[in-house]
Structure 1
Amino acid sequence: MHPAAAQPPSPAESLDQIKHLLSHLLPSSLSIKSFAGRWQVLRSKLASLKSSVSEISDSPHWSENPLLQTLLPNLLSTLRRIETLCHQCSDPSFPAGKLLMQSDLDMAAGWLSRQLNDVDLLLRSGVLRQSSAIVLSHPGPGSGKEDLGFFIRDLFTRLQIGGIDFKKKAMESLLQLLKDEEKAATLVPKEGNIGYLVQMLDLSAHPIVREQAVMAVSILATASHQSAKCLFEEGGLGPLLRIVESSSMQLKEKAVIAVEAITADPENAWAISAYGGVSTLIEVCKCGWPAAQAHAIGAIRNVAAVEEIRTSLVEEGAVPVIVQLLVSGSALAQENAANCIAVLASSGECFRHMILQEKGLQRLLHLLHESSSSDTLEHVLRAIYSLSASDSTSRILSASTTFIIQVSELIKHGNIMLQHICASLLANLSMSDVNKRAIAGCMGSLVKLMESAKPVGLQEVATQALVSVLTVKSNRKDLAKDEKCVMKLVQMLDPQKELVSKKFPVAVVAAIMAGGSKGCRKRLVAAGAYGHLQRLTEMEVAGARRALQRLSGNRLKSIFSRTWRE
């Protein structure tokens, strides 16, 4: 029969034995003459440990903490090893080699440092002063910050001190907390240890714990600007990119979500290049995994905003990949790709040339026709607007009746941002009279946009687009027949109403009267435009005198003629 295995000592027994050993080792080590420097370091650590052990004893619930069931026996084992070394160094006849003893002392000091650090961490967390702290129940919905903070400190204590089972359970609890409680994401950077969480992303970490850590970091990065900033400052970007390079597709997706969130801050985005991350993100865009693609192109869009990195995007061959995603990517990937192209196209002629070479304009126009997402349409239109700075693109767009009608429909039915971009496009394109007649239906919407104080610049581009459309005679007549539009224009002319700069309605009235139509003149005068223009002329508003002359027409000439005769 095998003898029964010896039962490990209880935490209380371990603590008593540790106290006894410390009370013996501290004075004994003072008399050691050999390796004096190393024993001085050990004595300093032993003194710190004695203080910490005393604090553990004073904590009311220390014996309930399962972490001590492992930590105290390990600490006792280290102290026994130090006791053996103490006896050997005190015995002048001990035959062991000098180098071997130096090595043994250094190893013992290293073990003691790590264990002392764990003890200090446990004490600082405060969990030893809370009954059953280590098995705290999961905080319920609406828990206060104090309860959540204590629970988070407890989780991170288990992560840093406990063995693999403690780490797994702690990570499970952390993930559950982040999913269930919105406030947790803002508290984790304050109450937890983000730096340690980042260490768990290392490829050498336990696979399950690393996977859990990636998921937690992904949630934290997307929770708030502050938590994303904290992850960056703790060095999270590099390990995340390594996971994107060499992990499973599911982990790539979680990691690249975090990378996108971290690089949303331009102050962080520059570091992608330092870690060689541009090529990594481009490879993910090529991989065919829709969710990972969408966030990888989102991260590329973030770094494209950094001037120094745009060159590396070109060198790494990003432009063809980005343009391809306009047709082959998921809805989110298409949106982010269009956004990225808008950024690049606004950065200079060389980028516009590359995008056009890859048939970027055709694919943007196709996406404009196919997409129903207002966010995607906004980015597509911004990209098209930036590309229209090229003469060749401007000519193509100006001649495309289909495109111009699409733009006019969005002016009538789109949200305010879409209306703004579309008005800017119409204002800048050299449209034919045929195309201008085809979009006469959007003139009322342009008049309405002239009243919008926000976004900045909308009133001006709406005015420019309307003036352009009014170069066609039939459009001038149609607008003058629209009583609501005429009344809006006249109200905008009123000097007492300051919402709209007077130069805008003045320009539209001048455009309506460019052909000298008596019907248009009659309707504008009847609505009260003449009196307002007179006052605006006296105020020397730009264009007001010319508009007044056009509105006066033959009537003004007859007045001058009668005055001359008299």
Structure 2
Amino acid sequence: MHSAAASPPTFSPAETLTEITTLLSPLLTSSLSTKHFTSRWQVIRTNLSSLSSHLSHLSNLSHNSLLDSLLSNVLSTLRLIETLATKCTDDVLTAGKLLTQSDLDIAIGSISKHVDDLDLLVRSGMLQQSSAIVLIEPGIGAGLVELGFYVRDVFARLQIGGIEFKDKAMDSLIQVLKKDEKAGSVVAKEGNVRYLVCLLDYNVDDSLREKVVLAVALLASACEESRKCVFEEGALGPLLRIIESNSVLLSERAVMAVEAITVDPDNAWAVLAYGGVSVLIDVCRYGSIVAQSHALGAITNVALIEEIRICLREEGGVGCIVTLLSSVPAKAANCISVLASVDEDCRDLILQEKGLQALLHLLDELSDLVVLEHVLRAIYSLSSMDTVRLLSLSSSFVIHLSEFIKNGNLVLQHLAVSLLADLSMMSERNKQNIAGCMCYLVKFMETVKPGGLQEVATQSLVLLLTVKSNRKYLIGDDESVMRLVQMLDPKTESVPKKFPVAVISAIMAGGSNGCRKKLVASGACRYLQNLAEMEVAGAKKLLQKLSGNRLKSILSSTWRE
């Protein structure tokens, strides 16, 4: 039986510092007298000299929990070095050579870390104030100087402190990144992001790693500067490895960070280099809904790279994305939209996987306008000669478009009008069913932004006006007629004249005398005469239709002269 070893005496911080300085001088001397492993002792001697220099800054020692812990560790390391120095000054090495060599390497690693930690502590400015375990956060609107000090303090605790300090430091870092939009930039400049990234791979408990991953994700999302910093410090590889871990929360936070990093298109290639496409596809197959949402976002971010799209096709990723329309509709639809718009092979695969039908089904199920924007954009990206027939014959789809035109936001309206303009095979019944949206289309003809809306609104109106009842409906709407006539006015420069000319020509295509009289009474002829003189395409012919033979003869005589 061995008796328990006596516990080392407990010193106050000042007493610990005295013990350290008392040990340092003889250790520096004895390191010169060692007879074994002299190269290692040279490294130790250099570190002891650096340690002595840093300790000189601690003459006015104030209570600092972080420093107290560090000094205690320094003293333990110096006692180990003292023991090793005694062994290595003997002519014959009595202890095992390999064991002594290993102990020296441990001592070198420890003393080097202590020197680095003391250097960090001195530079951080923490020694000028008392330091509790829990940090006091800067107030709302804190300046950059105050925020910078706080960030340096957080990272000093993170790097030097034990598990309790690290845990509280991570809480503080996460909170400041969530609350202060300036924090991301300050952390990139003042914090040790490389150390934070290293913690992703360190053997720390899951609770701390979850916080580290969340902090990295928040940092990558904060601003371009912090996102670049996270990527350049090598976070992507460890994050992709963490995604494959068994922890659901770790995986969710890691893939959230990957999505944030890949927002920068310059970082997309690295996903391919690290084998990240397969990882993201697996998340789409087997991950939680939260993880799947972020994985879809990351895939969307990197989808412009052809090699990544090839991987998606070859590994079944496209079909997997289509299946997620039911559970993660916004992200899945957005991903489909990007893939279909840049890659014909991906578009064909999406159609083979019944992606268009799934998107059409979502129109019946969803009410969120933002999600509907993504769905409609995906349908638009899939539109082609092959799909126009299916879309044109779908009465429910046509009615949905009409409702979006009447009640949607501007983005949704623009998408709906663009789709409607392409439905050349729409039945007469479907055209009649959506006559009520024509007055909105007339208003869109006056809308300069977004670009292209005037043109597709015109095309949609011309398409709907091929039906007699729709022509009668529109000409009966006095406000729409007045808008169309005002658009003919050369002074209305915001509207290209070919658009109202095309719509009024479509109204007159049936030769209705009632339509003619309504347009003439509204003053259309006066503006058309100006447009005819300006040689606007179709204006002369339309004027002749509206004016009848007498005015036609007068104009012909005028033009001959």
* Structure 1 residues without counterparts, runs of 5 or longer: none
Task: State the match for 2:49 in structure 1.
Answer: 47
**Residues 51-109 of structure 1: CA distance to partner in whole angstroms, max 9, x if unpaired?**
2111232xx4x431122222223223333444455555555566668777665554433
Matches within 5 A, 1:70-89: 70-86=69-85
Among 386, 389, 392, the alignment partner of 2:386 is 392
Contact kept, 8 Å, 1:159 with 1:171, in 2: the verdict is yes
Compute the displacement of 1:476 (Å).
2.3
Task: State the match for 1:13 in structure 2.
Answer: 15
Matches within 5 A, 1:100-249: 105-132=104-131, 135-179=134-178, 181=180, 183-202=182-201, 204-249=203-248
Contact kept, 8 Å, 1:203 with 1:243, in 2: the verdict is no
Q: What is the CA–CA distance in structure 2 between the aligned matches of 1:107 and 1:253, rounded to whole Å?
A: 37
Task: State the match for 2:511 in structure 1.
Answer: 516
Structure 2 CA distance for partners of 1:386 and 1:177, relative to 1, 3 Å: closer
2:418 paired with 1:424: yes
Structure 2 CA distance for partners of 1:539 and 1:557, relative to 1, 3 Å: closer
Q: What is the CA–CA distance in structure 2 between the aligned matches of 1:471 and 1:458, rounded to whole Å?
A: 21
SS at match of 2:136: coil
Q: Which amino acid aligns with 1:513?
A: M
Give the root-mean-square deviation of aligned CA atoms.
3.0
Structure 2 CA distance for partners of 1:529 and 1:86, relative to 1, 3 Å: same
Q: What is the CA–CA distance in structure 1 between the aligned matches of 2:404 and 2:361, rounded to whole Å?
A: 16
SS at match of 2:529: helix
Give TM-score scaled by structure 1 length.
0.89
Q: What is the CA–CA distance in structure 2 between the aligned matches of 1:535 and 1:247, rounded to whole Å?
A: 75
Q: What is the CA–CA distance in structure 1 between the aligned matches of 2:151 and 2:204, rounded to whole Å?
A: 21
**Residues 178-232 of structure 1: CA distance to partner in whole angstroms, max 9, x if unpaired?**
4555554554333332222222222632222112222333333444444333322
Task: State the match for 1:490 in structure 2.
Answer: 485
Q: What is the CA–CA distance in structure 1 between the aligned matches of 2:548 and 2:306, rounded to whole Å?
A: 55
Task: State the match for 2:466 in structure 1.
Answer: 471
Task: State the match for 1:250 in structure 2.
Answer: 249
Contact kept, 8 Å, 1:493 with 1:505, in 2: the verdict is yes
Contact kept, 8 Å, 2:392 with 2:423, in 1: the verdict is yes
Q: How many residues align?
A: 557
2:375 paired with 1:380: yes
Q: What is the CA–CA distance in structure 2 between the aligned matches of 1:97 and 1:2, rounded to whole Å?
A: 25
**Residues 428-450 of structure 1: CA distance to partner in whole angstroms, max 9, x if unpaired?**
12123332222211111001111
Q: What is the CA–CA distance in structure 1 between the aligned matches of 2:546 and 2:477, rounded to whole Å?
A: 18
**Residues 300-330 of structure 1: CA distance to partner in whole angstroms, max 9, x if unpaired?**
2223233331111111111221111223x1x
Deviates further, 164-173 or 152-161: 164-173
Among 518, 528, 538, the alignment partner of 1:533 is 528
Matches within 5 A, 1:365-376: 365-376=360-371
Task: State the match for 1:410 in structure 2.
Answer: 404
Contact kept, 8 Å, 2:446 with 2:454, in 1: the verdict is yes
Structure 2 CA distance for partners of 1:198 and 1:557, relative to 1, 3 Å: same
Deviates further, 92-101 or 278-287: 92-101
Q: Which amino acid aligns with 1:511?
A: A
Among 22, 25, 44, the alignment partner of 2:24 is 22
Task: State the match for 1:300 in structure 2.
Answer: 299
Compute the displacement of 1:297 (Å).
2.2
Among 322, 337, 344, the alignment partner of 2:339 is 344
Contact kept, 8 Å, 2:475 with 2:481, in 1: the verdict is yes
Contact kept, 8 Å, 2:259 with 2:298, in 1: the verdict is yes
Q: What is the CA–CA distance in structure 2 between the aligned matches of 1:509 and 1:563, rounded to whole Å?
A: 24
Deviates further, 238-247 or 512-521: 512-521
Structure 2 CA distance for partners of 1:12 and 1:272, relative to 1, 3 Å: same
Compute the displacement of 1:123 (Å).
1.2
Structure 2 CA distance for partners of 1:94 and 1:196, relative to 1, 3 Å: closer
Task: State the match for 1:273 in structure 2.
Answer: 272
Contact kept, 8 Å, 1:263 with 1:299, in 2: the verdict is yes
Compute the displacement of 1:467 (Å).
1.5
Compute the displacement of 1:147 (Å).
3.5
Contact kept, 8 Å, 1:127 with 1:133, in 2: the verdict is no
Compute the displacement of 1:495 (Å).
1.6
Q: Which amino acid aligns with 2:404?
A: L
**Residues 237-280 of structure 1: CA distance to partner in whole angstroms, max 9, x if unpaired?**
22222222113223222222222222233222332222222222
Task: State the match for 2:355 in structure 1.
Answer: 360
Give TM-score scaled by structure 2 length.
0.90
Contact kept, 8 Å, 1:507 with 1:547, in 2: the verdict is no
Compute the displacement of 1:400 (Å).
1.9
* Structure 2 residues without counterparts, runs of 5 or longer: none
Q: Which amino acid aligns with 2:241?
A: R
Compute the displacement of 1:511 (Å).
2.1
Q: What is the CA–CA distance in structure 2 between the aligned matches of 1:486 and 1:436, rounded to whole Å?
A: 20
Task: State the match for 1:480 in structure 2.
Answer: 475
Compute the displacement of 1:413 (Å).
1.3
Q: Which amino acid aligns with 1:55?
A: H
Q: What is the CA–CA distance in structure 2 between the aligned matches of 1:344 and 1:438, rounded to whole Å?
A: 33
Q: What is the CA–CA distance in structure 2 between the aligned matches of 1:323 and 1:344, rounded to whole Å?
A: 11
Compute the displacement of 1:365 (Å).
0.8
Q: Which amino acid aligns with 1:364?
A: L
Contact kept, 8 Å, 2:87 with 2:94, in 1: the verdict is no
Structure 2 CA distance for partners of 1:380 and 1:64, relative to 1, 3 Å: same
Deviates further, 110-119 or 445-454: 110-119
Matches within 5 A, 1:277-292: 277-287=276-286, 289-292=288-291
Structure 2 CA distance for partners of 1:435 and 1:208, relative to 1, 3 Å: closer
Task: State the match for 2:435 in structure 1.
Answer: 440
Task: State the match for 2:447 in structure 1.
Answer: 452
Q: Which amino acid aligns with 1:120?
A: D
**Residues 29-50 of structure 1: CA distance to partner in whole angstroms, max 9, x if unpaired?**
5566876544443333233222
Contact kept, 8 Å, 1:65 with 1:134, in 2: the verdict is no
Compute the displacement of 1:15 (Å).
1.9
Deviates further, 128-137 or 474-483: 128-137
SS at match of 1:246: coil
SS at match of 1:386: helix
Deviates further, 533-542 or 456-465: 533-542
Compute the displacement of 1:507 (Å).
1.9
**Residues 496-541 of structure 1: CA distance to partner in whole angstroms, max 9, x if unpaired?**
2222222222222222223333322222232222222222233333
Contact kept, 8 Å, 1:411 with 1:419, in 2: the verdict is yes
Contact kept, 8 Å, 1:218 with 1:258, in 2: the verdict is yes
Deviates further, 522-531 or 440-449: 522-531
Contact kept, 8 Å, 1:453 with 1:500, in 2: the verdict is yes
2:494 paired with 1:499: yes
Task: State the match for 2:258 in structure 1.
Answer: 259
Task: State the match for 1:317 in structure 2.
Answer: 316
Compute the displacement of 1:461 (Å).
0.9
SS at match of 1:321: helix
Q: What is the CA–CA distance in structure 1 between the aligned matches of 2:545 and 2:228, rounded to whole Å?
A: 60
Q: Which amino acid aligns with 1:254?
A: R
Q: What is the CA–CA distance in structure 1 between the aligned matches of 2:87 and 2:8, rounded to whole Å?
A: 28
